[in-house]
Structure 1
Amino acid sequence: MEEFALTFINEHGYLIYPLVLVWTFFEGETIVLVVSALAATSAPFINLPLLATCATVGTMAGDQLFYYLGRFYGTPFLASRPKLAAKAERGFELLRRGEVPFILSYRFIYGVRNVSPFVVGVGGIPPLRFLLLNFIASALWAASFTLGGFFLGKVLEQWLDQYKWHMITAVVFLIGFIFLRNRSKNSAPPPA
Protein backbone atom coordinates (compact mmCIF):
# COMPACT_ATOMS: atom_id res chain seq x y z
CA MET A 1 0.00 0.00 0.00
CA GLU A 2 2.82 2.38 0.89
CA GLU A 3 4.48 1.71 -2.46
CA PHE A 4 1.20 2.43 -4.29
CA ALA A 5 0.75 5.70 -2.39
CA LEU A 6 4.30 6.79 -3.15
CA THR A 7 3.95 5.87 -6.82
CA PHE A 8 0.67 7.77 -7.04
CA ILE A 9 2.18 10.83 -5.35
CA ASN A 10 5.25 10.73 -7.60
CA GLU A 11 3.15 10.43 -10.77
CA HIS A 12 0.28 12.72 -9.82
CA GLY A 13 1.84 14.93 -7.17
CA TYR A 14 0.85 18.08 -9.01
CA LEU A 15 -2.76 17.34 -7.94
CA ILE A 16 -1.78 17.98 -4.33
CA TYR A 17 -1.78 21.75 -4.82
CA PRO A 18 -5.36 22.14 -6.14
CA LEU A 19 -6.50 19.60 -3.53
CA VAL A 20 -4.97 21.71 -0.74
CA LEU A 21 -6.45 24.86 -2.25
CA VAL A 22 -9.97 23.40 -2.26
CA TRP A 23 -9.70 21.55 1.05
CA THR A 24 -8.44 24.59 2.96
CA PHE A 25 -11.40 26.58 1.64
CA PHE A 26 -13.47 24.64 4.18
CA GLU A 27 -11.05 23.39 6.81
CA GLY A 28 -7.47 22.49 6.23
CA GLU A 29 -5.26 21.86 9.25
CA THR A 30 -5.07 18.13 8.66
CA ILE A 31 -4.30 18.16 4.95
CA VAL A 32 -1.63 20.86 5.30
CA LEU A 33 0.07 18.95 8.13
CA VAL A 34 -0.07 15.62 6.27
CA VAL A 35 1.15 16.94 2.91
CA SER A 36 3.98 18.93 4.48
CA ALA A 37 4.97 15.89 6.57
CA LEU A 38 5.06 13.88 3.33
CA ALA A 39 7.36 16.54 1.89
CA ALA A 40 9.74 15.85 4.76
CA THR A 41 9.72 12.10 4.28
CA SER A 42 8.50 10.31 1.18
CA ALA A 43 7.62 13.10 -1.26
CA PRO A 44 10.51 15.57 -1.29
CA PHE A 45 9.37 17.02 -4.63
CA ILE A 46 6.54 18.85 -2.83
CA ASN A 47 7.25 22.56 -2.99
CA LEU A 48 6.64 23.96 0.51
CA PRO A 49 6.30 27.62 -0.55
CA LEU A 50 3.74 26.62 -3.21
CA LEU A 51 1.93 24.44 -0.67
CA ALA A 52 1.80 27.33 1.82
CA THR A 53 0.57 29.68 -0.92
CA CYS A 54 -2.25 27.29 -1.88
CA ALA A 55 -3.20 26.92 1.79
CA THR A 56 -3.16 30.71 2.23
CA VAL A 57 -5.37 31.33 -0.80
CA GLY A 58 -7.78 28.51 0.08
CA THR A 59 -8.30 29.46 3.70
CA MET A 60 -8.47 33.16 2.87
CA ALA A 61 -11.13 32.61 0.18
CA GLY A 62 -13.23 30.46 2.50
CA ASP A 63 -13.03 33.01 5.29
CA GLN A 64 -13.92 35.84 2.90
CA LEU A 65 -17.04 33.96 1.82
CA PHE A 66 -18.16 33.31 5.39
CA TYR A 67 -17.36 36.91 6.36
CA TYR A 68 -19.73 38.18 3.65
CA LEU A 69 -22.39 35.64 4.58
CA GLY A 70 -22.17 36.92 8.14
CA ARG A 71 -22.16 40.53 7.03
CA PHE A 72 -25.29 40.23 4.88
CA TYR A 73 -27.27 37.37 6.46
CA GLY A 74 -25.75 36.87 9.90
CA THR A 75 -28.17 38.27 12.44
CA PRO A 76 -31.37 36.61 11.11
CA PHE A 77 -29.44 33.41 10.40
CA LEU A 78 -28.15 33.22 14.00
CA ALA A 79 -31.58 34.12 15.40
CA SER A 80 -33.07 31.07 13.69
CA ARG A 81 -30.32 28.72 14.93
CA PRO A 82 -29.88 28.86 18.72
CA LYS A 83 -27.11 26.22 18.84
CA LEU A 84 -24.98 28.09 16.31
CA ALA A 85 -25.74 31.38 18.07
CA ALA A 86 -24.45 29.91 21.32
CA LYS A 87 -21.24 28.83 19.59
CA ALA A 88 -20.89 32.24 17.94
CA GLU A 89 -21.28 34.02 21.28
CA ARG A 90 -17.76 32.95 22.30
CA GLY A 91 -16.47 34.50 19.06
CA PHE A 92 -18.37 37.74 19.73
CA GLU A 93 -16.86 37.82 23.22
CA LEU A 94 -13.33 37.53 21.81
CA LEU A 95 -14.09 40.06 19.05
CA ARG A 96 -15.22 42.62 21.64
CA ARG A 97 -11.96 42.19 23.55
CA GLY A 98 -9.93 43.13 20.49
CA GLU A 99 -10.73 43.01 16.79
CA VAL A 100 -7.20 42.79 15.43
CA PRO A 101 -5.87 40.16 17.86
CA PHE A 102 -9.00 38.08 17.34
CA ILE A 103 -8.86 38.19 13.54
CA LEU A 104 -5.15 37.38 13.53
CA SER A 105 -5.53 34.46 15.93
CA TYR A 106 -8.93 32.80 15.53
CA ARG A 107 -7.55 30.14 13.17
CA PHE A 108 -5.54 28.83 16.09
CA ILE A 109 -8.40 28.86 18.66
CA TYR A 110 -10.22 25.56 19.00
CA GLY A 111 -13.99 25.84 19.08
CA VAL A 112 -14.36 29.21 17.34
CA ARG A 113 -12.32 28.81 14.17
CA ASN A 114 -15.24 27.76 11.95
CA VAL A 115 -17.71 30.46 13.04
CA SER A 116 -15.20 33.29 13.40
CA PRO A 117 -15.29 34.82 9.90
CA PHE A 118 -19.08 34.75 10.11
CA VAL A 119 -18.91 36.46 13.52
CA VAL A 120 -16.51 39.10 12.19
CA GLY A 121 -18.95 39.81 9.35
CA VAL A 122 -21.85 40.18 11.77
CA GLY A 123 -19.62 42.32 14.00
CA GLY A 124 -19.44 45.01 11.34
CA ILE A 125 -15.70 45.01 10.66
CA PRO A 126 -15.17 46.98 7.40
CA PRO A 127 -14.52 44.72 4.36
CA LEU A 128 -11.15 46.21 3.42
CA ARG A 129 -9.88 45.93 6.99
CA PHE A 130 -10.95 42.30 7.17
CA LEU A 131 -9.40 41.56 3.77
CA LEU A 132 -6.01 42.87 4.90
CA LEU A 133 -6.10 41.17 8.30
CA ASN A 134 -7.42 37.97 6.74
CA PHE A 135 -4.50 37.92 4.29
CA ILE A 136 -1.95 38.37 7.09
CA ALA A 137 -3.63 35.78 9.32
CA SER A 138 -4.04 33.27 6.48
CA ALA A 139 -0.38 33.57 5.52
CA LEU A 140 0.74 33.15 9.15
CA TRP A 141 -1.54 30.16 9.60
CA ALA A 142 -0.43 28.49 6.36
CA ALA A 143 3.27 29.08 7.05
CA SER A 144 3.05 27.77 10.62
CA PHE A 145 1.12 24.62 9.68
CA THR A 146 3.30 23.95 6.63
CA LEU A 147 6.53 24.30 8.60
CA GLY A 148 5.04 22.50 11.60
CA GLY A 149 4.01 19.56 9.44
CA PHE A 150 7.40 19.46 7.75
CA PHE A 151 9.27 19.34 11.06
CA LEU A 152 6.77 16.84 12.46
CA GLY A 153 7.42 14.66 9.41
CA LYS A 154 11.19 14.81 10.00
CA VAL A 155 10.77 13.84 13.66
CA LEU A 156 8.32 11.03 12.86
CA GLU A 157 10.61 9.67 10.15
CA GLN A 158 13.49 9.35 12.63
CA TRP A 159 11.24 8.00 15.35
CA LEU A 160 9.58 5.43 13.08
CA ASP A 161 12.95 4.21 11.80
CA GLN A 162 14.13 3.77 15.37
CA TYR A 163 10.97 2.09 16.75
CA LYS A 164 9.50 0.37 13.68
CA TRP A 165 9.55 -3.16 15.11
CA HIS A 166 8.16 -2.03 18.44
CA MET A 167 5.23 -0.42 16.65
CA ILE A 168 4.60 -3.43 14.40
CA THR A 169 4.59 -5.69 17.47
CA ALA A 170 2.19 -3.37 19.31
CA VAL A 171 -0.19 -3.25 16.33
CA VAL A 172 -0.16 -7.06 16.00
CA PHE A 173 -0.94 -7.45 19.72
CA LEU A 174 -3.69 -4.83 19.51
CA ILE A 175 -5.32 -6.57 16.52
CA GLY A 176 -5.05 -9.91 18.33
CA PHE A 177 -6.59 -8.46 21.49
CA ILE A 178 -9.51 -6.94 19.56
CA PHE A 179 -10.04 -10.20 17.66
CA LEU A 180 -10.08 -12.30 20.85
CA ARG A 181 -12.34 -9.85 22.66
CA ASN A 182 -14.86 -9.80 19.81
CA ARG A 183 -14.70 -13.57 19.53
CA SER A 184 -15.40 -14.03 23.25
CA LYS A 185 -18.34 -11.59 23.07
CA ASN A 186 -19.83 -13.51 20.14
CA SER A 187 -19.44 -16.91 21.84
CA ALA A 188 -20.91 -15.83 25.20
CA PRO A 189 -24.47 -17.04 25.84
CA PRO A 190 -27.14 -14.33 25.61
CA PRO A 191 -28.29 -12.89 28.95
CA ALA A 192 -31.47 -14.41 30.32
Structure 2
Amino acid sequence: MQDILTNLSTYGYIILFLYSLGGGMVAIIGAGLLSFEGNMNLTLSIIIAAIANFIGDMILVYMGRYNKSSVMPYFKSHKRKLALAQILFKKYGDKIIFIKKYVYGLKTLVPLAIGLTKYSLIKFAIINAICSAIWAISFGLVSYYAGGFISQFASYFGDRAYIVPIFLFALLGSIWIYFSWATKRR
Protein backbone atom coordinates (compact mmCIF):
# COMPACT_ATOMS: atom_id res chain seq x y z
CA MET A 1 0.00 0.00 0.00
CA GLN A 2 2.86 2.37 0.80
CA ASP A 3 4.29 1.84 -2.71
CA ILE A 4 0.97 2.87 -4.23
CA LEU A 5 0.85 6.05 -2.11
CA THR A 6 4.47 6.85 -3.01
CA ASN A 7 3.71 6.42 -6.72
CA LEU A 8 0.58 8.56 -6.43
CA SER A 9 2.45 11.33 -4.68
CA THR A 10 5.15 11.10 -7.38
CA TYR A 11 2.98 10.69 -10.48
CA GLY A 12 -0.32 11.92 -9.06
CA TYR A 13 0.05 15.43 -10.44
CA ILE A 14 0.67 14.11 -13.95
CA ILE A 15 -2.32 11.77 -13.67
CA LEU A 16 -4.41 14.66 -12.29
CA PHE A 17 -3.44 16.89 -15.21
CA LEU A 18 -4.14 14.28 -17.88
CA TYR A 19 -7.42 13.17 -16.33
CA SER A 20 -8.59 16.77 -15.81
CA LEU A 21 -8.21 17.49 -19.53
CA GLY A 22 -11.31 15.37 -20.07
CA GLY A 23 -13.29 16.16 -16.96
CA GLY A 24 -11.30 15.29 -13.89
CA MET A 25 -13.98 15.09 -11.23
CA VAL A 26 -12.72 11.78 -9.87
CA ALA A 27 -9.10 12.93 -10.11
CA ILE A 28 -9.60 16.17 -8.17
CA ILE A 29 -11.59 14.30 -5.52
CA GLY A 30 -8.79 11.75 -5.30
CA ALA A 31 -6.20 14.53 -5.08
CA GLY A 32 -8.20 16.19 -2.30
CA LEU A 33 -8.31 12.91 -0.37
CA LEU A 34 -4.60 12.29 -0.93
CA SER A 35 -3.94 15.85 0.25
CA PHE A 36 -5.94 15.12 3.41
CA GLU A 37 -3.75 12.06 3.97
CA GLY A 38 -0.62 14.20 3.41
CA ASN A 39 0.46 12.56 0.15
CA MET A 40 -0.24 15.50 -2.19
CA ASN A 41 -0.36 19.28 -1.92
CA LEU A 42 -3.94 20.59 -2.08
CA THR A 43 -3.10 24.00 -3.52
CA LEU A 44 -0.94 22.55 -6.28
CA SER A 45 -3.60 19.93 -7.05
CA ILE A 46 -6.30 22.58 -7.39
CA ILE A 47 -4.12 24.72 -9.67
CA ILE A 48 -3.20 21.75 -11.89
CA ALA A 49 -6.81 20.54 -12.14
CA ALA A 50 -8.12 24.03 -12.99
CA ILE A 51 -5.50 24.62 -15.69
CA ALA A 52 -6.01 21.18 -17.27
CA ASN A 53 -9.80 21.50 -17.19
CA PHE A 54 -9.55 24.91 -18.85
CA ILE A 55 -7.21 23.58 -21.55
CA GLY A 56 -9.42 20.55 -22.21
CA ASP A 57 -12.51 22.70 -22.77
CA MET A 58 -10.62 25.12 -25.00
CA ILE A 59 -9.39 22.21 -27.14
CA LEU A 60 -12.97 20.98 -27.53
CA VAL A 61 -14.24 24.44 -28.52
CA TYR A 62 -11.45 24.82 -31.08
CA MET A 63 -12.20 21.34 -32.44
CA GLY A 64 -15.86 22.27 -32.83
CA ARG A 65 -15.03 25.62 -34.40
CA TYR A 66 -12.18 24.79 -36.75
CA ASN A 67 -12.40 21.03 -37.37
CA LYS A 68 -16.13 20.47 -37.85
CA SER A 69 -15.63 18.06 -40.71
CA SER A 70 -13.19 15.96 -38.69
CA VAL A 71 -15.24 15.99 -35.48
CA MET A 72 -18.77 15.38 -36.77
CA PRO A 73 -18.27 11.77 -37.98
CA TYR A 74 -17.37 10.77 -34.43
CA PHE A 75 -20.59 12.31 -33.13
CA LYS A 76 -22.92 10.89 -35.78
CA SER A 77 -24.60 8.68 -33.20
CA HIS A 78 -24.71 11.55 -30.69
CA LYS A 79 -26.35 14.21 -32.87
CA ARG A 80 -29.38 14.41 -30.59
CA LYS A 81 -27.17 14.83 -27.52
CA LEU A 82 -25.22 17.55 -29.31
CA ALA A 83 -28.52 19.22 -30.19
CA LEU A 84 -29.57 18.97 -26.53
CA ALA A 85 -26.33 20.71 -25.53
CA GLN A 86 -27.05 23.52 -28.01
CA ILE A 87 -30.61 23.86 -26.68
CA LEU A 88 -29.31 24.02 -23.10
CA PHE A 89 -26.79 26.65 -24.18
CA LYS A 90 -29.51 28.75 -25.81
CA LYS A 91 -31.79 28.33 -22.80
CA TYR A 92 -29.27 28.95 -20.01
CA GLY A 93 -26.65 30.97 -21.85
CA ASP A 94 -23.35 31.47 -20.12
CA LYS A 95 -24.55 29.60 -17.01
CA ILE A 96 -24.35 26.30 -18.87
CA ILE A 97 -20.56 26.69 -19.06
CA PHE A 98 -20.54 26.56 -15.25
CA ILE A 99 -23.25 23.91 -14.88
CA LYS A 100 -21.58 21.49 -17.29
CA LYS A 101 -18.52 21.30 -15.06
CA TYR A 102 -20.64 19.47 -12.48
CA VAL A 103 -22.81 17.28 -14.74
CA TYR A 104 -21.19 14.16 -16.10
CA GLY A 105 -21.78 13.81 -19.83
CA LEU A 106 -22.13 17.51 -20.59
CA LYS A 107 -18.40 18.20 -20.19
CA THR A 108 -17.63 17.16 -23.76
CA LEU A 109 -20.82 18.07 -25.54
CA VAL A 110 -21.29 21.67 -24.39
CA PRO A 111 -17.87 22.95 -25.55
CA LEU A 112 -18.31 21.18 -28.90
CA ALA A 113 -21.78 22.70 -29.25
CA ILE A 114 -20.41 26.14 -28.38
CA GLY A 115 -17.63 25.62 -30.92
CA LEU A 116 -20.24 24.96 -33.60
CA THR A 117 -21.85 28.35 -32.91
CA LYS A 118 -20.53 31.88 -33.42
CA TYR A 119 -20.04 32.38 -29.68
CA SER A 120 -17.03 34.57 -28.88
CA LEU A 121 -13.95 32.49 -28.11
CA ILE A 122 -12.53 35.22 -25.89
CA LYS A 123 -15.73 35.38 -23.86
CA PHE A 124 -15.79 31.59 -23.59
CA ALA A 125 -12.13 31.55 -22.49
CA ILE A 126 -12.77 34.10 -19.72
CA ILE A 127 -15.90 32.36 -18.43
CA ASN A 128 -14.26 28.95 -18.77
CA ALA A 129 -11.20 30.09 -16.77
CA ILE A 130 -13.39 31.38 -13.93
CA CYS A 131 -15.58 28.27 -13.97
CA SER A 132 -12.57 25.93 -14.08
CA ALA A 133 -11.09 27.65 -11.04
CA ILE A 134 -14.38 27.49 -9.12
CA TRP A 135 -14.83 23.84 -10.10
CA ALA A 136 -11.33 22.83 -8.98
CA ILE A 137 -11.51 24.81 -5.73
CA SER A 138 -14.94 23.47 -4.80
CA PHE A 139 -14.17 19.80 -5.46
CA GLY A 140 -10.67 20.07 -4.03
CA LEU A 141 -11.79 21.70 -0.78
CA VAL A 142 -14.89 19.57 -0.32
CA SER A 143 -12.94 16.34 -0.82
CA TYR A 144 -10.14 17.57 1.43
CA TYR A 145 -12.45 18.54 4.29
CA ALA A 146 -14.54 15.41 3.82
CA GLY A 147 -11.38 13.29 3.94
CA GLY A 148 -12.03 11.92 7.43
CA PHE A 149 -15.60 10.95 6.62
CA ILE A 150 -14.63 9.41 3.29
CA SER A 151 -11.83 7.42 4.94
CA GLN A 152 -14.34 5.99 7.43
CA PHE A 153 -16.78 5.34 4.57
CA ALA A 154 -14.07 3.54 2.56
CA SER A 155 -13.07 1.40 5.54
CA TYR A 156 -16.73 0.42 6.00
CA PHE A 157 -16.99 -0.65 2.37
CA GLY A 158 -13.59 -2.33 2.51
CA ASP A 159 -15.35 -5.18 4.29
CA ARG A 160 -18.31 -4.97 1.92
CA ALA A 161 -16.55 -4.38 -1.40
CA TYR A 162 -19.42 -5.88 -3.39
CA ILE A 163 -21.57 -2.79 -2.68
CA VAL A 164 -19.26 -0.35 -4.49
CA PRO A 165 -19.72 -1.77 -8.02
CA ILE A 166 -23.48 -1.96 -7.46
CA PHE A 167 -23.54 1.70 -6.42
CA LEU A 168 -21.37 2.79 -9.36
CA PHE A 169 -23.47 0.76 -11.81
CA ALA A 170 -26.66 2.34 -10.45
CA LEU A 171 -25.18 5.85 -10.65
CA LEU A 172 -23.84 5.48 -14.21
CA GLY A 173 -27.02 3.70 -15.29
CA SER A 174 -29.20 6.53 -14.01
CA ILE A 175 -27.05 9.09 -15.86
CA TRP A 176 -27.31 7.06 -19.06
CA ILE A 177 -31.10 6.68 -18.63
CA TYR A 178 -31.47 10.44 -18.08
CA PHE A 179 -29.54 11.35 -21.22
CA SER A 180 -31.40 8.72 -23.22
CA TRP A 181 -34.70 10.16 -21.98
CA ALA A 182 -33.61 13.79 -22.52
CA THR A 183 -32.57 13.13 -26.13
CA LYS A 184 -35.47 10.85 -27.07
CA ARG A 185 -37.54 11.92 -30.05
CA ARG A 186 -40.98 13.10 -28.90
Q: Fold conserved (TM > 0.5)? A: yes
* Bigger Rg, which one: 1
CA distance in 2, matches of 1:118, 1:131: 14
> What are the residue-to-residue correspondences of 1:22-101 with 2, within 5 Å?
22-41=18-37, 44-74=38-68, 77-78=71-72, 81-101=75-95
Contact 2:23 2:107 in 1 (8 A): no
> Over residues 97-131 of structure 1, what are the superposed CA-to-partner deviations in whole Å (9 max), with x where a residue is unaligned?
13211112211123322211111111221111011
Structure 2: give runs of 5+ residues left out of the alignment: 163-186
CA change 1:23–1:80 in 2 (3 A) is closer
Establish whether residue 3 from structure 1 lines up as the match of residue 2 from structure 2. yes
Q: TM-score, normalised by structure 1?
A: 0.73
Q: What one-letter code is carried by the residue in structure 1 that aligns with 2:5?
A: L
Cα RMSD (Å) of the superposition? 2.4
Structure 1: give runs of 5+ residues left out of the alignment: 175-192
> Over residues 150-189 of structure 1, what are the superposed CA-to-partner deviations in whole Å (9 max), with x where a residue is unaligned?
133221224556x58xx53x45xx6xxxxxxxxxxxxxxx
CA distance in 2, matches of 1:28, 1:134: 15
Establish whether residue 118 from structure 1 lines up as the match of residue 117 from structure 2. no
CA change 1:58–1:81 in 2 (3 A) is closer
CA distance in 2, matches of 1:25, 1:80: 19
| Aligned residues with identical type, % of pairs | 21
CA change 1:154–1:71 in 2 (3 A) is same
Alignment match of 1:108 (pick from 80, 95, 102): 102
CA change 1:159–1:123 in 2 (3 A) is same
Pairwise CA distance, 1:95? 0.6
